[in-house]
Amino acid sequence: MITLCGMCLSNYYNKVKMVLLEKGIPFEEEFVRTGSKEEAVLSCSPLAKVPFIRTAQGSLCESQAIVDYLEALQPEPRLLPADPWAAAKVRELTTFVDLHLELAARELYGKAFFGGDISEANAERVRKLLIKNIAAFKRLAKFSPYVAGDSFTQADCAAFVSLPLVGLASRIVLGEDLLAAAGVDWKAYVKVVGERPSAQRINADRKAEQERLAAK
């Protein structure tokens, strides 16, 4: 049995969780906050980042490493095309979502979602970076109806949980949804993916965790 450790509020946790749900791999969940200094966490995730998984073979951290492991562990249903080139293109899109969109927008999250702040200079730097990176992403993404084309893939497990954060954070902090401004209709895309049982489970669990933490 795989134990998925982290928080339902984490988009990278939900990226892995979506893969587990789509593949029908049995798993348990363990609530772990990012940044924990407990040895039980650091021994599994040395940077105290979530998610990580515990398995009979040991622990594994970093969301993409986990996703790749799950794909190799249980190839069907496929979340990577069998064709090597098509599979590489899916990985390319996933990299763009994780590193060039979400990571760039993450500097806005403190002010957007947690009551923090960001200097005008840094906000403007992030704006310019996102505008450039979103234009590049748009050249690769198909949205027909899924990110890589007509099949649901790993790239969708990343995009479904991260594109809304990019759009919302940029709107709240920068005054404009930079994805929408670039012609990326992420809301329509999220609505399509949101019809999948895996997406509905993720949304419900995230909402429940938000409510539970707010009640403390």
- 86-101 pLDDT, tens digit each: 999 999 999 999 999 9
Whole-number Å distance between alpha carbons of 215 and 103:
30
Whole-number Å distance between alpha carbons of 32 and 9:
11
Taking Cα atoms as reference points, which of 187, 206, 145, 151 lies closest to residue 6? 206
Reading phi first (left if > 0) and then psi (alpha if -120 to 50, else beta), residue 30 is in: beta
- 20-35 pLDDT, tens digit each: 999 999 999 999 999 9
- 105-122 pLDDT, tens digit each: 999 999 999 999 999 999
In this structure, the chain runs to a length of: 216
Residue 161 has a pLDDT of: 98
Q: At residue 216, does pLDDT exceed 90?
A: no
> Looking at residues 136-150, what average pLDDT do you find?
98
- 2-20 pLDDT, tens digit each: 999 999 999 999 999 999 9
Instruction: Classify residue 123 as exposed, middle or buried by CB count within 10 Å of its CB (0-12, 13-18, 19+).
Output: middle
Is residue 77 within 8 Å of 198, Cβ to Cβ? no
